[in-house]
Amino acid sequence: MNKNLPATQFETACIHAGQEPDPTTGAVMTPIYQTSTYHQRGVGKHKGYEYSRTGNPTRTALEANLAALEQGQYGYAFASGMAAIDTILRLLSPGDHVVAGNDVYGGTYRLFEQVLHRSGIDFTYVDSSDLQQVKTNLLPNTRLIWLETPSNPLLQISDIAAIAKIAHNQPQSILVVVDNTFATPYLQQPLVLGADLVVHSTTKYLAGHSDVVGGAIVGRDEIFGQRLAFLQNAVGAVPGPMDCYLTLRGIKTLAVRMDRHSENAMRVSNFLAYHPKVKQVYYPFQTGHSGAELARQQMRSGGGMVSFTLKDGAEEAIRVAESTRLFSLAESLGGVESLIEVPAAMTHASTVSSPLAITPDLIRLSVGIENVEDLLADLAQALE
């Protein structure tokens, strides 16, 4: 963090936190330190960097920036969101148990069930928007509660503060981890609400331009911080300096982008809610959404993700997803451009035939920051 920086508001921290003029040249933008290793003037006598898996100045700037935005003590950057999630789960041991939300990104479910379960970690999936379900599924060996809020793709809202209270009141110490990818720290700050760790796919809104894959963990507790730093280096799923630079560059405009994403998504959600062909709309700030009241307490605005189903079912959902012209048919989310997809066949294919399966008639939109009238016209013509 720039030591000379005065206390700042979020938008200012997006642009400045972690970034000082380069000490050798004065470059205002953090350089891409494209090096794997660093000269030592004597054995063990170096300037804080030995090898780029362990540390790289471009990555250091990104990590300090992410820590500041989430109000954490430390941040660690990873090669992908999945690498960050995997690293958090490596805090656990065989025989440990995790309670996880039952509407999570398909890749998270795949990692839990097809990789980590084989290493002796057990998972129970609950509707984490229901506090009673979270509470009654805690076991003596539960070590971690995994939340996505808003969740992917049904935009369910879980009460972070209440769940943190439940977890921290158990005799064993239960960690609360929030995947904050959909909200970003601009809309919601889980650590402030009591969570222990925040994880991101920085691929999405943080980087914001669909041109880089990355992940991050931010936390406060020093003991976990040291273990996560050890794991980051020991496992080595780190991002390269160019990727760190792109992510830093994207974050500079996070606040303005998120305002526009939310504004556009709210308009899209209202449009869909009154469309005769639409069965149900899922958007956290939409009147009638089961978590709307909590979302308005916990989040600054509703974010850019909207899901919906059609009265005419799955075949029609595929037809609509293949008929938009501005909304590009693609996986991923959070870029400036609008995307459309059918989760059951695309991002959440790994949950098919599982208790987490998504119905095939669901369409998910990542609403971009284009002119909203153009987006509404595109959806209108696709629904015709």
Ligand X SMILES: Cc1ncc(COP(=O)(O)O)c(C=O)c1O
Query: Which of 32, 10, 6 has the alpha carbon at shortest distance from 249?
Result: 32
Active site residue 105: yes
Q: Is 128 in the site for ligand X (CB under 6 A)?
A: no
CA distance 333 to 335: 6
- Distance, CA of 160 to CA of 251 (rounded, Å): 24
Per CB under 6 A, which region of 75-83, 138-146, 162-170, 243-251 contacts ligand X? 75-83
Judged by CB under 6 A, does residue 203 bind ligand X? yes
Beta bridge partners of 308: 281, 363
Q: Pick between residue 16 and residue 338 the one whose CB is nearest to ligand X.
A: 338
Q: Which residue of 66, 68, 82, 212 would you call a contact of ligand X, by CB under 6 A?
A: 82
Indicate which single residue of 188, 201, 286, 298 sits in contact with ligand X (rule: CB under 6 A).
201
Residue 3 is a catalytic residue: no
Q: What is the CA radius of gyration of the chain?
A: 21
SS3 342: coil
> Is position 179 annotated as part of the catalytic site?
yes
Token digits of residue 341: 């997809």
Site membership for ligand X, residue 80 (CB under 6 A): yes
81 forms part of the interface with ligand X (CB under 6 A): yes
- Closer CB to ligand X, residue 67 or residue 213? 213
Kindly name the residue from 179, 243, 361, 378 that is annotated as catalytic.
179
Looking at the Cβ atoms of 56 and 201, the one nearer to ligand X is 201
Q: Choose, by CB under 6 A, the member of 77, 213, 272, 362 that binds ligand X.
A: 213
Report yes or no: 241 and 369 within 8 Å, Cβ to Cβ: no
Q: What are the angstrom distances between the C-alpha of 373 and each of 81, 258, 377? A: 33, 18, 6
Q: Catalytic: 59?
A: no
Q: Scanning residues 326 to 365, which ones bind ligand X (CB under 6 A)?
A: none
In the list 107, 250, 304, 343, the residue contacting ligand X (rule: CB under 6 A) is: 107
Token couple for 114: 């097809």
Amino acid identity of residue 211, one-letter, is D
Distance CA 324, CA 231 (A): 43
Residue 179 touches ligand X, criterion: CB under 6 A: yes
Nearest distance from residue 366's CB to ligand X, in Å? 10
Cβ burial of 380 (10 Å; 0-12, 13-18, 19+) is: exposed
Binding residues for ligand X (CB under 6 A): 80-82, 105, 107-108, 148, 152, 179, 181, 201, 203, 213, 215
Q: Active-site positions?
A: 53, 105, 179, 204
